[in-house]
Amino acid sequence: MRICDWLTAGGLVVVAAAGLTAATSFYDLKTSYLDGRPADLGVFRGKVTLVVNVASECGYTPQYEGLEQLHRELSGKGFSVLGFPSNDFGGQEPGSPQEIAAFCKKNYGVTFPMFAKLVTVRGPAQSPIYQFLGSSGHLPAWNFSKYLVDKNGRVVAFFPSAVEPDAPELREAIAKALAELR
């Protein structure tokens, strides 16, 4: 996979389209961490990840607590929650990267990786990350939609916003994906 120059414009990660080829794994993609450092999602290859589009001013925002609990409980077993802030739904993530980081730390003690704000919805500004995730047949309809990605970078399950981090169906899917690590 060849991805050309990554640019940051207005806090959103945008990719120049020249030479872009389709990713075959979520872990082939690159982005930026919330603090602006480059992020190669390849560092998560071999792990199970739960990719979540997050927002600070949403009715589902209290899910940060359960996501952090999942991350802390399972990170030693080859699992990580990955947070991708998005302002796509109701303008509920208007903050700067610094404001988002401070909110998450102060209110929920978030330690899982947080990435640069991006666009999840279809269109010319849609992030390559959500282009890839959307190829699973699902795009977020609201904040806190969850994609379970296996050790090879394939989307193996999708959970809409209303599915809480401690929901039995989510926990079972995570356990099944982790069992494949052994």
Q: Residues 52, 58, 67, 148: which is the catalytic one?
A: 58
Q: Cα–chain-centroid distance for residue 70?
A: 14
The boundaries of the domain holding residue 37 are: 6-179
For this structure, is 58 an active site residue?
A: yes
Structure-block tokens of residue 137: 């047949």
pLDDT at 77: 96
Residue 180, number of CB atoms within 10 A of its CB: 12
Question: Hey, is 119 helix, strand or coil?
Answer: coil
**Does some domain include residue 161?**
yes
**Does some domain include residue 1?**
no
pLDDT at 181: 82
Report the number of distinct structural domains present in the chain.
1
* CATH code of the domain in which 165 resides: 3.40.30.10
**Does some domain include residue 45?**
yes
pLDDT at 112: 98
- Output 118-122 pairs: Cβ under 8 A, ≥24 positions apart: 118/12, 118/13, 118/31, 118/84, 118/85, 118/86, 119/12, 119/86, 119/88, 120/53, 120/84, 120/86, 120/88, 120/145, 121/88
**Does some domain include residue 64?**
yes
pLDDT at 34: 97
Q: What is the mean pLDDT of each run of 10 residues along the chain (182 residues)?
A: 33 38 87 97 97 98 98 97 97 97 98 98 96 96 98 97 98 97 79
**Does some domain include residue 40?**
yes
pLDDT at 45: 97
